[in-house]
Every structure is written in structure tokens, then in C-alpha cells.
A and B are shown apart, each in its own frame.
Chain A
């Protein structure tokens, strides 16, 4: 209900707005034209209040015009031929109209058309004064009494004009000077507008009816003058009413302007969807509607103007509410739709195909533009060639721009890949939304994220492990200290039975083994987590192996094994932490001593390969080795019984220390042949 009222209010407001504005504008135009032609307009208004039509300016100008036409017509006759008949074809064009003026054949124009004979005329030369006339009774109008009903006579005597009305002579010339805007008789004979010398022999008499009657079949200018005044007055009154009405409507329009604005907005919302091209056509149509029919006269002009007003209104509303609406045009929409469709399609296509298709499209665009452009250029004699070239350059520019963007993105992507590969902590790569490589960059970011998270987790867990092992080993060391100390005290006790001494010896051995194990666990966890302090220095690997063997000479000699050592005399220089590397070989030799089959040989060889020094230690295992088990894993031992001495960390320590020093450690099992290999790059 409310909305309905609102809507009707809005429509009323809009319609009244149109009407009032239209009327006011029309009035304003009239007013302006009135002011522009002020003098004539004033004459026109004077005429409205004249009782006697013969006193009006319109009458005066009508008679003046008629006289002039007659004079010119007769002059034209006389100048072409002396006879009564003339050949129309021979006549000079400027006089054509005036000849028709007196022609009896012509019904549409001229005095003969006045069937009511409101204006009688006689014209001729001084010798034949009534050569032409429309008075059927052939009286002499120049002199004497006027016919019944007629009271006005105008006589041209070749030089001046004299007028007689109701028997009284009227002063035609006044002070003898003609002023065009004073409502004067526009006839020859003024001092500043002397009669044409060619008219000297011509005589004209015009007689007007006191009260013009309506012509039966035709047109009478004088009758028209009598009627015109009343019509004009009526028109002006009606117009005045309309203006007042329009002001009232304007008030309504003003009162309900809110609703109207709402409606305008709604109209604007509608027009916003229109393409700019259609709007343009609409504007042109409106302008044509306004101006195209100007020739049809003032009233129709006003109507067309009023009709075109809503058009202007819509245009104004559109301009006001839809800023930049020119962008919403057909070409742009097509391009945009195409681009959107493209990008959607491209998102789905693999990169390679996408790039190839883009190249294809570019070539197609160039080819089509070139073809059409060439055709049009030929048609327009080269006028459109610059546009074609510009278009082609534009396409090339667009393609180049895309390509450059791609190259830049690719560069950034590869840089990022290198950074990720080197493990640097890099910021995630952000490419623009429409970049071809966005997805790849996204994946790379994910990978990097995953790697860094994994590395972080690993470092964290390793650190926690080391911390745990450190704490545990410290906690174990304290009670172990007591055990060792008291075992030592026990050993010093005298007078103990032999079997007790045996027990004590076992306690002593096992507590020491526990001590070594704890240290080994600590070392291996530290090395594996990469938290070990290293003192890297250049050293001779051969010498180190020889020193290790010499250091363990006693154990080697006392074993049932034969060591076959093949180490070159010349130094084999590598860079490593000597103390750690000693532990590596110590563990390997201990391992060989511990697990080798009695009476077999242990081969220790140092070989120099290309850029690397390699120590191999081969021995025959006493136990059958399981080749599926990685023996270098922590706590893994060749014998699963774990009955023998050792922490089970020997090879694990060897491996982690070697790797911490920058070498490679590997173990190979071939049946019972156990081969440990330590390799370092030469320096």
C-alpha cells in the first residue's frame, strides 16, 4: 500500500516535473524570442487591442507588401516585353514570384485568390490605369466614391502613396523618414527610401473592405488579420493557464522529489545495464527528435521538444548516477567476456598448452587484423592503414607484456627453487593472481613449508633426544660413580674368599663396561644430532691409521689374528678431526678383534682414488652375519645374543663420527667377509 502510494507519487512527481519543465522551457524560449524581436513583438501585441483592423500593423504591412508585389510584377512585365503576353521561359528568375502574383491561373497565391474581394485592386500605367484588376464590375477605383462596404483607398501615383480612409486622407510619411520598427507604411516615397524610377509610369489603387468577409473558397489575408487577433488572445490566455498549472506541477514535483529521485535511481539502474553504444544511439535519436523537425513550425517544435524531454531526462539521470558508463560498451564487454572465458579455460589447461595457445591466438589476431586491415586500407585508399598498424602493434605489445611478465615470474620462481634447494630460510614466493606460474609458486611454497617444518621438527626432536640422553647419562653417572668407588674399596679388602673376589671382579668389569656404554651413547647421539664440536685440521690419514694400530698393538699382538697392513709411505692428506677419526679406527679395529674368526687375517688397506682416500678393513666374521640388517644402526650387533662385551655402538659411532668429519662410511657383508670402508675427500 505504502509502496504503491510511493510509486504513484514518484510517477506523478516525474510526469509533473517533465510537463512543468517542458512548458517553462517552451515559455522561456518564447520569452527569449519575444525579447529578441522586441519591436515587432510589441507591434503584434498592439494589434491585439485594435478594434479596427485597418489600424493594425499587420494591415499596414500587408497592404505595403501587396503594393510592392504589384509594382514589381508590373515592372517585370514591362521590362521583358511590351506586349500583354510573355514567355515564362524568357523571364529572369528574381521576378518569377511577382509575375505569379498577378496571374489569374494561379489559385494558391496572389490577390485573385481572394474570392471575398476584401481587397480590390487596379493597376496599370498612367495611360491605362486598370490594366490588371480583380474588380469584376470595372469601376474606376482611383477616383470618386468607394463601392459599398469599402472605406479604405490607397493610391500609388508613380512616386508617392496617398491613403484615404472613410473619406479622410491619412498622413502616410510622417516626417518623411522610414524606420523599420515603428509600424510605418513600408511604401515608396520616403526621403530615405525613394521610389524606383522604373515605377514612375505605373499606377496602383488598392481598396479595402471596412469589415472583411470570410472568403468562400480561397484565402484572404485581410480576413485573416481580423481573425488572428482573437485566436492569438485565446492562445495566450490558455498558455498563461498552462504556465500557472506547470508551476503548480513543479511544486508537486518539488514536494515529492524524494520519491522521484528514488525512481530516477531505479531508472539509472536499468540504464546502467545498457551498452554505451545503445545509449549513444538513443542520445542521437533524442537530438534528432528535438532539432530534426524544426522546419515544421513552432507548435510542432514544442511538441517534439516536450516528447524529447524524457529522453534528455533519462540521459541526465544516467550521466548522474552511472559514472563512467562509457566503459560498459559492447566491445569492452566482448573483450572482457573473452578474457574471462580465456582465463577460466587457461586455469584448467596445463602451462605448456596454455602458452602455446596464447602464441596461436596472438598469431591469429595479427593475421586477422592484417587481413581485414589490408582490405579496408585498399578500400579507403590507405586511410585505415595507420589504425591497422596501431592495432597490430597493440596486439604485439600485449603479447610481449604477457611474455615479459611470464619471464619475470619464471626468473623469480627459479631463484626461489634454488633458494629452497639450498635450504635457505626464504620468504614464500607471491605471484600476482593472474600469473601463469602462480600455481607452481604455490606448490613450491607448500614444498618449502613442508621441508622447513620437517627440518624444524627433526632438529627439535634431535635436540630433545640429545638433551634426554645427556640428562639420563648424567643421572646414571652419579650412581655409577658410587658403584665403581665401592667396588674398588671391596677389591682392596683383604681376607675375602676367592669366589667373592671373583664376584667383585665381575662387578668391576661390568661397571666399567656400563661406564663406556654411557659415554658411547652420549657420543653417538651427539654426533648424530650434529651438535658435536669438531676441530678440523689437515692430517695424514695413513699416519693416523698406523698410529691407531700402534696404539692398539698390545691387543693386536695378544689376539689370534694376523693384521695385514697396506698403507702407502707418502702422506695422504685429508681434513678431519683427528681425535674423532682415531675413535673411528679404534672402533673398527676393536670390532675386528672382537668378532673375527680366530686365526684369520685382518686386512687394513689405504688406497688413493681420484680425489678421495679410502681405508678398508676386512675381516672374517666369527658369527654368521645377517646381510639384511644394517649393522651400523645403533645397538645392532652381529650376534643377537648380546652376551659379549661392547655397547653395540662401535660401528654406529664410527659411522656418525666419519660423517660428522665429512667422510663416508659404509659396511659391506659378503657371506662371512665383513668389509668396513671409510672414505674421505683428499685435501
Chain B
């Protein structure tokens, strides 16, 4: 691809190889490195479009490498880590990573995230420029309030009428928590009856269309015991 190769960094050679195979099957060219220093060298010497990097590595760990790379290059970075704590994720993201994937991961999910990051870095800027007034942009998602159309990573998402109404409500109020009853009332325009189940069914379906990993949603979230919201990114 013209935007450059994908650099995969991990001290475990087999993991690097398997990721490389998965990515190459999707048509990406892949570069490999096995520690932070090698990663730095590769970034400096080669045309790199995206980095997938492990945290715990010899010589130079992933977070230090990210900081160094961020000083020189502006490119998407996905962190791979065995650490699954929230604090670890927050630390990784604050160091300059764009995404955080915990081991063991689903290879297809990783590929999807790579695609998503690349799209956003290349095409998202255009959307901002084109239809700034009618566009609500939140991370990977962009919603056109006039056309009532949702796009994830710039790709249009096909939604049913009900789903569009739910998205319309949530996207216009990013971060606000809506109880199921309220969503039901405003979308269906009738008194809530068994709202939770009905709304949940739709939420699940929307998730499958917009989330990279519907089981661990990043955008359309349940606030347990309260309601539903779209997370502000």
C-alpha cells in the first residue's frame, strides 16, 4: 500500500509471524522488529504507516519506544499487551498509543483495528473538511445529521430505521446516558413496555455493525444499572 508498511514489534517471534501472516493476507506489507530499539531503527529507515507494538520487551520497552517514535513521526500506533487492567490501558493511551489490544487477542479483531486506524489517519480529515456543519464526529464514528447516515472509519454503516433513530438520539447527545424507557419513548413514540429487552436487542445489533469487537464495545456502551450511551472519544 502506498501509505507504507505495517511494523509489527514483539519479542515473541511466533506472535510477530502470525500477525504478519494475518495482515499480509489482508494485503498489507509488513515489517518485523523484536525489541524497541529495532523498532526505532525501522521507523527511521523505512516507510512505516502503522505500528503494532508489544509493551514488555527487552532492550527498550514498548512505551519508551512509543514516546521516542512520537517525537519524530505522526502515525497510528496500536499497543499489544498482556496487561489487561484499566490503568495499564490508560497509561498506554496517554503515552501516545491510538489503540490498546490485550493479549490474547482475536487476530481478526486486530486486523479490523489496523484497518480502522489506517482509514482514520488517511480519510477522516476529508470528512471534517467537507461537511463540517452537519457532521458529528466521535472517534471512528461520524454521523450526518441531515442525511441521518452513520459512518465508521469513513465507511457507511447500513442501519434500519429504528436503529437510525436510536443512533440519531445517542449521537446528538454524545456522553449522555439514556435509560431504556426514555430511548423507547422517544424512538417508538409509545409508552415503554418491556423496554429493556427491546432496546437491548437493537443496541446489540448496532454494536455488531459499528464495533470492532461487539463483545467489548468501545462506543455504544451499557451503563449498568442506569442506561445506554455513546462514549465520547
Tell which of B99-107, B133-141, B151-159, B183-191 binds the partner.
B99-107
Pair A522/B84 contact, Cβ less than 8 Å: yes
Expressed in whole angstroms, the minimum distance between the Cβ of A438 and any Cβ of chain B is 49
Given A478-B12, A553-B201, does the pair A539, B224 have CB atoms closer than 8 Å?
yes
Complex Cα distance, B207 from A551, in Å, reads: 12
Taking CB atoms, residues of chain A closer than 8 Å to B86 are 533
Pair A551/B104 contact, Cβ less than 8 Å: no
Tell which of B16-24, B65-73, B112-120 binds the partner.
B16-24
Complex Cα distance, B199 from A480, in Å, reads: 36
Complex Cα distance, B196 from A540, in Å, reads: 13
Pair A485/B83 contact, Cβ less than 8 Å: no
Pair B105/A484 contact, Cβ less than 8 Å: yes
A581 at the interface (CB under 8 A from B): yes
Closest residue of chain A to B85, judged by CB? A533
Pair B224/A581 contact, Cβ less than 8 Å: yes
Taking CB atoms, residues of chain B closer than 8 Å to A519 are 84
B179 at the interface (CB under 8 A from A): yes
Q: Which of B84, B87, B179, B196 contacts A550 (CB 8 A)?
A: B196
Pair B225/A543 contact, Cβ less than 8 Å: yes
Pair B106/A551 contact, Cβ less than 8 Å: no
Given A533-B86, A543-B196, A550-B196, does the pair A484, B106 have CB atoms closer than 8 Å?
yes
Given A474-B83, A522-B84, does the pair A485, B107 have CB atoms closer than 8 Å?
yes
Complex Cα distance, B24 from A492, in Å, reads: 13
Of A488, A546, A548, A550, the most chain B CB neighbours within 10 A belong to A550
Given A474-B83, A578-B224, A581-B224, does the pair A489, B22 have CB atoms closer than 8 Å?
yes
Closest residue of chain A to B21, judged by CB? A489
Complex Cα distance, B204 from A548, in Å, reads: 13
Chain B interface residue number, banded? 35 or more
Taking CB atoms, residues of chain A closer than 8 Å to B225 are 539-541, 543-544, 547, 576, 578, 581
Expressed in whole angstroms, the minimum distance between the Cβ of A68 and any Cβ of chain B is 131
Of A480, A543, A544, A549, the most chain B CB neighbours within 10 A belong to A543
A482 at the interface (CB under 8 A from B): yes
Pair B103/A489 contact, Cβ less than 8 Å: no
Pair B18/A482 contact, Cβ less than 8 Å: yes
Complex Cα distance, B86 from A522, in Å, reads: 13
Pair B224/A582 contact, Cβ less than 8 Å: yes
Taking CB atoms, residues of chain A closer than 8 Å to B180 are 543, 546-547
B14 at the interface (CB under 8 A from A): yes
B223 at the interface (CB under 8 A from A): yes
A81 at the interface (CB under 8 A from B): no
Expressed in whole angstroms, the minimum distance between the Cβ of A377 and any Cβ of chain B is 86
B95 at the interface (CB under 8 A from A): no
Expressed in whole angstroms, the minimum distance between the Cβ of A400 and any Cβ of chain B is 62
Taking CB atoms, residues of chain A closer than 8 Å to B25 are 492
Taking CB atoms, residues of chain B closer than 8 Å to A473 are 82
Closest residue of chain B to A526, judged by CB? B85
Expressed in whole angstroms, the minimum distance between the Cβ of A320 and any Cβ of chain B is 81
Interface residues in A91-115 by Cβ distance below 8 A to B read none
Expressed in whole angstroms, the minimum distance between the Cβ of A456 and any Cβ of chain B is 25
Expressed in whole angstroms, the minimum distance between the Cβ of A579 and any Cβ of chain B is 6
B222 at the interface (CB under 8 A from A): yes
- The secondary-structure label for the interface of chain A is helix
Interface residues in B176-206 by Cβ distance below 8 A to A read 179-180, 196-197, 199-201, 204
B15 at the interface (CB under 8 A from A): yes
Taking CB atoms, residues of chain B closer than 8 Å to A484 are 104-107
Q: Which of A481, A488, A578 contacts B22 (CB 8 A)?
A: A488
Taking CB atoms, residues of chain B closer than 8 Å to A553 are 197, 200-201
B82-94 Cβ-contact flags toward A at 8 Å (1 or 0): 1111110000000
Closest residue of chain B to A576, judged by CB? B225
Given A488-B108, A515-B104, A547-B200, does the pair A481, B15 have CB atoms closer than 8 Å?
yes
Expressed in whole angstroms, the minimum distance between the Cβ of A192 and any Cβ of chain B is 129
Taking CB atoms, residues of chain B closer than 8 Å to A539 are 224-226
Closest residue of chain B to A567, judged by CB? B196
Pair A578/B226 contact, Cβ less than 8 Å: yes
Pair B104/A481 contact, Cβ less than 8 Å: yes
A538-576 Cβ-contact flags toward B at 8 Å (1 or 0): 011101101111110100000000000000000000001
Given A578-B226, A581-B224, does the pair A551, B200 have CB atoms closer than 8 Å?
yes
Q: Which of B21, B83, B87 contacts A533 (CB 8 A)?
A: B87
Q: Which of A477, A540, A541 contacts B104 (CB 8 A)?
A: A477
Of B18, B22, B85, the most chain A CB neighbours within 10 A belong to B18
Expressed in whole angstroms, the minimum distance between the Cβ of A165 and any Cβ of chain B is 142
A86 at the interface (CB under 8 A from B): no
Pair B103/A477 contact, Cβ less than 8 Å: yes
Taking CB atoms, residues of chain B closer than 8 Å to A543 are 179-180, 196, 225-227
Taking CB atoms, residues of chain B closer than 8 Å to A489 are 18, 21-22, 107
Complex Cα distance, B106 from A549, in Å, reads: 26
Taking CB atoms, residues of chain B closer than 8 Å to A548 are 224
Closest residue of chain A to B105, judged by CB? A481
Complex Cα distance, B33 from A542, in Å, reads: 51
Q: Which of B87, B200, B201, B224 contacts A544 (CB 8 A)?
A: B224
B202-228 Cβ-contact flags toward A at 8 Å (1 or 0): 001000000000000000001111110
A394 at the interface (CB under 8 A from B): no
A486 at the interface (CB under 8 A from B): yes
Complex Cα distance, B11 from A478, in Å, reads: 10
Closest residue of chain A to B11, judged by CB? A478
A203-223 Cβ-contact flags toward B at 8 Å (1 or 0): 000000000000000000000
Taking CB atoms, residues of chain A closer than 8 Å to B223 are 578
Complex Cα distance, B227 from A544, in Å, reads: 9
Complex Cα distance, B129 from A625, in Å, reads: 65
Closest residue of chain A to B198, judged by CB? A550
Taking CB atoms, residues of chain B closer than 8 Å to A533 are 85-87
Complex Cα distance, B226 from A581, in Å, reads: 12
Closest residue of chain A to B225, judged by CB? A539
Interface residues in B41-72 by Cβ distance below 8 A to A read 56
Complex Cα distance, B105 from A488, in Å, reads: 11
Taking CB atoms, residues of chain B closer than 8 Å to A546 are 180, 196-197
A603-646 Cβ-contact flags toward B at 8 Å (1 or 0): 00000000000000000000000000000000000000000000
Pair B196/A547 contact, Cβ less than 8 Å: yes
Given A550-B197, A578-B226, does the pair A480, B106 have CB atoms closer than 8 Å?
no
Complex Cα distance, B87 from A543, in Å, reads: 28
Q: Which of A492, A547, A549 contacts B222 (CB 8 A)?
A: A547
Taking CB atoms, residues of chain A closer than 8 Å to B103 are 477-478, 480-481
A/B interface sample: 17 pairs, CB < 8 A: A474-B82, A480-B104, A481-B103, A484-B105, A485-B14, A488-B106, A488-B107, A489-B22, A511-B104, A522-B84, A543-B227, A544-B224, A546-B180, A550-B199, A551-B204, A576-B225, A578-B225
**Residues of B that sit less than 8 Å from A by CB:** 12, 14-15, 18-19, 21-22, 25, 56, 82-87, 103-108, 179-180, 196-197, 199-201, 204, 222-227
Can you add 4 more A-B contacts, CB < 8 Å, to A485-B104, A486-B18, A543-B196?
A477-B104, A541-B225, A550-B197, A550-B201
The 10 A-B pairs with the shortest beta carbon distances in the complex, nearest first, are A539-B225, A578-B224, A550-B200, A544-B225, A485-B18, A481-B104, A477-B82, A546-B196, A474-B82, A582-B224
